């Protein structure tokens, strides 16, 4: 059949945070194809073709694994069995209210989802704070960019990308680090590569020779876990050689002298000793970046997922500020976020233990009063627990119940045996999801939800752009949209939520979160995406932040010097290799969606470990051979891929698989500021299986 004969719905991709827009073609409740929308409606992909996931990754929507009916754990057999909504909702209400009455509200915790819409995430945090009265609400962005948010809030004011994808596509120079852009943000990488072909300079610093490095003017391999050393080294070089943007630094920043003092020990020789960066490579990068008309600093979880992740991002922010590459077109600080809605669902909507919607502090009495007026109930005024803290407190018996919307911590947490044991300790666990995930397998009640193709709402992409998501299909069987499920439970717990649509929820968001003040579904329909801050109806939104002032009272950015830390675990005789983790092009995060797409599984169908040829030879391991990897946490068997992408002594594994799950091995050291786990450095040993 020709696509043009089918029903068509314009929507936003449900995978990554680039936020490509496309038309979904359906017939008889089945997705038959997608095609990028006109460039006018799709500023992120700007008419570029979508990536392989965007084009072919939708079999999961009508997968036979979809949950079509609620499940409850049978009290006699202990197994999950199908149930009607009435029984399932009753069990949820009894489970949550029983814990609330016996142990108080803070014995409950809610996890929001960066895969769900802004409206659903807003309601999830409202459900936690208003209905359950708990201060414990967090989301999986804790595991990916919480250190970015912590660092950028301190230095420039907002914990978000400062610029547009359009700026990233047109920079004069790039420093990309800790980002496998080609595989994790494919359309963004295409635009960067095109610009590099047209003459832009590209520097890639990374422990692993990732795809984007093949296009770099300079690829520099660095030791995992010592990024502050080379970034502070670049800043020191810039200052020592008077390459900094004197006018920008004098007029728009504070605290230069403390920064100068802090970076002083990072001489080129010391940087080489600490992380293996050659002095000439350091000098070349520093000189090119400092003298470029514009530079984009792009990073992802290779920077953030460390026990000193916040320090890594502080160091990058200092370098961007000292060279004056913030607050102007084609330049800026560009954290490449993960999930489709990680900006909105991961923070903007207040799904954080210390922030209400719009990043308003939970302990600000003026803010609390506004929410009390709107909700008729004052939200808890103390910060709650982060995701890792919730798991610790579950082990300790202080957290007794969890409500998880669309997340899969049983696979995404470090040291998953420990995480699964915490889930088993709970008195009650409810999960709402589209599949029986590894987390849902531990639940007392599983509620069937709708996929992105079966709902209306909005996602906010990595450049702060809020875009509409439109319903193309009905949810299968008895599955319901997440916002409807939350509303039903809230009302059964005695509240009177009466939202008729996600558009009405967005109206409440814009009333309460000033950075979304001018955003409505009606306006998005009319004007396309809007980038926050967008404070009122007449505000066109903010393409790039800080062109006039930074988000502090004095309008100035702060240099916050970064400290060099050590990884929480270092190789030793028993576990001599460094394990690092990441993504591959064909899969997404814990693989909940992509492991159910046949075409994708035929390309990469199982977990593997990359090993450098010299390391493989020393261990007597051949390409394609089954190997056993062991850490202090656990042991798994996977296939070896012998390649020089990782360095000698470093092995790499993807994070998408439940069989051969890398988080059986990863360690539980956390960044003390953001609480992000150190997924990127663990010690392991490897041998033929």
Give residues in contact with ligand SF4 (CB under 6 A). 13, 15-16, 18-20, 45, 50-51, 53-54, 185-187
Which of 458/631 has CB closer to ligand SF4?
458
Q: How far apart are the C-alpha atoms of 462 and 144, rounded to whole Å?
A: 13
In whole angstroms, the minimum distance from the beta carbon of 47 to ligand SF4 comes to 12
Helices marked H in 586-631: 598-603, 613-619
Query: Cβ atoms within 10 A of the Cβ of 159, count?
Result: 27
Residue 640, H or E segment? strand 635-642
E strand or H helix that includes residue 389:
helix 387-396
Kindly give the residue spans of alpha helices, DSSP state H, lying in 1-79: 52-56
Spatial CB neighbours of 2, under 8 Å, sequence gap ≥ 6:
none
Strand, helix or coil for residue 72: strand
CA distance 393 to 233: 40
Nearer to ligand SF4, 20 or 131 (CB): 20
Instruction: Give one DSSP letter per residue of 486-523, joined into a string.
Output: HHHHHHHTT------SHHHHHHHHHHH-GGGTT--HHH
Q: How many other C-beta atoms can be found within 10 angstroms of the C-beta atom of residue 503?
A: 18
Residues 67 and 431: their CA atoms lie apart, in Å, by: 12
Q: How far is the CB of 53 from ligand SF4 (least distance, A)?
A: 4
Q: How many CB atoms lie within 10 A of CB 44?
A: 25
C-alpha 613/C-alpha 629 separation (Å) is: 17
Nearer to ligand SF4, 45 or 147 (CB): 45
Taking the complex as a whole, how short is the minimal distance between the CB of residue 647 and ligand SF4, in angstroms?
A: 28
In the bound complex, what is the minimum distance in angstroms from residue 9's beta carbon to ligand SF4?
A: 16
- Report which DSSP code applies to 132: I
Q: Compute CA distances 588 → 23, 295, 404, 583, whole Å.
A: 21, 29, 19, 7
Classified as helix, coil or strand, 92 is helix
Q: For ligand SF4, which is the closer residue by CB, 300 or 686?
A: 300
| Residue whose token pair is 């965007």 | 54
Look at residues 139, 62, 189, 66 and name the one whose alpha carbon lies nearest to residue 339: 139
Q: Which of 413, 418, 366 is nearest to 387 (CA)?
A: 413
Asked if residues 180 and 245 have their Cβ atoms less than 8 Å apart, the reply is no
Task: Give least dist CB 59 to ligand SF4, A.
Answer: 15
CB-based burial of residue 357 (10 Å sphere; 0-12 exposed, 13-18 middle, 19+ buried)?
buried
Shortest distance, position 21 Cβ to ligand SF4, whole Å: 9
Residue number with the shortest CB distance to ligand SF4?
Answer: 54
Q: Closer to ligand SF4 by CB, 16 or 173: give it.
A: 16
> Which of 18, 342 has the CB closer to ligand SF4?
18
- In 3D space, the residue among 683, 483, 464 whose CA is nearest the CA of residue 567 turns out to be 683
CB of 367 to ligand SF4, least distance (A): 33
Which residue, 15 or 657, is less far from ligand SF4 as judged by CB? 15
Question: Which CB atom, from 34 or from 577, has the smaller least distance to ligand SF4?
Answer: 34
Q: In the complex with ligand SF4, which residue's Cβ is closer, 185 or 521?
A: 185
Minimum CB distance to ligand SF4, residue 127 (Å): 28
State the minimum distance, in angstroms, from the CB of residue 475 to ligand SF4: 21
Of 176 and 446, nearer to ligand SF4 (C-beta) is 176
Q: Are 184 and 583 in contact (CB under 8 A)?
A: yes
User: If we measure between CA atoms, which residue out of 664, 666, 659 comes closest to residue 639?
Assistant: 659
Pick 15 or 559: Cβ nearer ligand SF4: 15
Closest to ligand SF4 by CB, 53 vs 262, is 53
* Beta carbon of residue 293, minimum distance to ligand SF4 (angstroms, whole number): 27
Nearer to ligand SF4 by Cβ, of 232 and 340: the residue is 340
**3-class secondary structure for 292-338?**
CCCEEEEECHHHHCCCCHHHHHHHHHHHHHHCCCCCCCCCEEEECCC
Here the tokens at position 505 are 């929820």
Tell me how far, at minimum, the Cβ of 150 lies from ligand SF4, in Å.
Answer: 25
- Closest separation in Å from C-beta 529 to ligand SF4: 13
Query: Min. distance of Cβ 35 from ligand SF4 in angstroms?
Result: 12
d(CA 361, CA 478): 38
* Residue number with CB closer to ligand SF4 (380 or 591): 591
Least Å distance, CB 524 to ligand SF4, is 17
Closest-CA residue to 451 (of 438, 464, 432, 468): 432
């Amino acid at each position: 059949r020709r696509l043009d004969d089918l029903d068509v719905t314009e929507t936003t991709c449900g995978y990554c945070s680039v936020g490509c827009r496309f038309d979904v073609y359906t017939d008889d409740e089945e997705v038959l194809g997608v095609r990028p929308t006109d460039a006018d409606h799709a500023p992120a992909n700007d008419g570029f073709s979508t990536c392989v996931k965007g084009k072919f990754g939708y079999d999961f929507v009508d997968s036979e694994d979809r949950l079509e009916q609620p499940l409850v754990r049978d009290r006699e057999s202990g197994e999950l069995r199908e149930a009607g909504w009435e029984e399932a909702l009753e069990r949820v209400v009894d489970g949550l209210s029983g814990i609330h009455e016996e142990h108080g509200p803070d014995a409950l915790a809610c996890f929001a989802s960066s895969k769900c819409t802004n409206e659903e995430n807003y309601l999830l945090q409202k459900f936690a704070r208003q209905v359950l009265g708990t201060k414990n609400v967090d989301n999986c962005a804790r595991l990916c960019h919480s250190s970015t948010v912590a660092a950028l809030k301190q230095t420039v004011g907002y914990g978000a990308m400062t610029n547009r994808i359009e700026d990233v596509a047109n920079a004069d120079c790039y420093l990309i680090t800790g980002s496998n852009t080609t595989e994790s943000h494919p359309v963004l990488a295409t635009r960067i590569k095109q610009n590099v072909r047209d003459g832009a300079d590209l520097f890639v610093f990374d422990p692993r020779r990732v795809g984007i490095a093949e296009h770099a003017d300079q690829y520099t391999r660095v030791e995992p876990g010592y990024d502050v050393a080379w970034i502070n080294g670049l800043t020191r070089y810039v200052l020592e050689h008077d390459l900094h943007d004197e006018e920008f630094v004098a007029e728009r920043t504070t605290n230069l002298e403390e920064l100068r003092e802090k970076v002083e020990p990072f001489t080129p020789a010391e940087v080489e000793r600490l992380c293996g960066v050659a002095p000439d490579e350091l000098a070349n990068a520093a000189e090119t970046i400092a003298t470029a008309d514009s530079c984009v600093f792009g990073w992802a979880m290779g920077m953030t997922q460390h026990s000193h992740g916040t320090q890594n991002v502080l160091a990058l922010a200092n370098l961007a500020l000292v060279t004056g590459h913030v607050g102007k077109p084609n330049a800026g600080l560009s954290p490449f976020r993960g999930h489709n809605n990680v900006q909105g669902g991961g923070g903007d909507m207040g799904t954080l233990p210390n922030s209400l919607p719009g990043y308003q502090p939970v302990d600000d009495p003026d803010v609390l009063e506004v929410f009390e007026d709107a909700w008729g109930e004052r939200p808890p005024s103390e910060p709650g627990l982060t995701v890792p803290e919730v798991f610790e407190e579950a082990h300790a018996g202080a957290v007794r119940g969890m409500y998880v919307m669309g997340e899969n911590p049983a696979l995404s947490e470090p040291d998953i045996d420990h995480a699964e044991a915490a889930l088993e300790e709970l008195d009650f666990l409810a999960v709402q999801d589209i599949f029986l995930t590894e987390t849902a397998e531990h639940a007392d009640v599983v509620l069937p939800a709708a996929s992105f193709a079966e709902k209306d709402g909005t996602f906010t992409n990595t450049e702060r752009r809020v875009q509409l998501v439109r319903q193309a299909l009905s949810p299968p069987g008895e599955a319901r949209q997440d916002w409807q499920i939350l509303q039903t439970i809230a009302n059964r717990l005695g509240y009177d939520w009466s939202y008729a649509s996600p558009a009405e929820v967005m109206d409440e968001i814009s009333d309460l979160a000033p950075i979304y003040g001018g955003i409505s579904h009606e306006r998005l329909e009319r004007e396309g995406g809007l980038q926050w801050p967008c404070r009122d109806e007449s505000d066109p939104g903010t393409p790039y932040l800080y062109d006039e002032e930074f988000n502090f009272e004095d309008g100035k950015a702060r240099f916050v010097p970064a400290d060099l830390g050590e990884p929480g675990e270092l190789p030793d005789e028993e576990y001599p290799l460094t394990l690092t983790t990441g993504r591959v092009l064909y899969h997404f995060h814990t693989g909940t969606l992509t492991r159910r797409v046949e075409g994708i599984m035929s390309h990469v169908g199982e977990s593997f470990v990359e090993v450098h040829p010299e390391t493989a030879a020393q261990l007597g391991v051949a390409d394609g051979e089954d190997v056993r990897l062991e850490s202090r946490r656990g042991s798994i068997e996977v296939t070896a891929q012998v390649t020089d992408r990782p360095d000698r002594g470093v092995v790499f594994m993807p994070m998408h698989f439940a069989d051969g799950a890398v988080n059986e091995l990863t360690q539980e050291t956390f960044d003390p500021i953001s609480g992000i786990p150190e997924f990127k450095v663990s010690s392991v040993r490897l041998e033929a299986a």
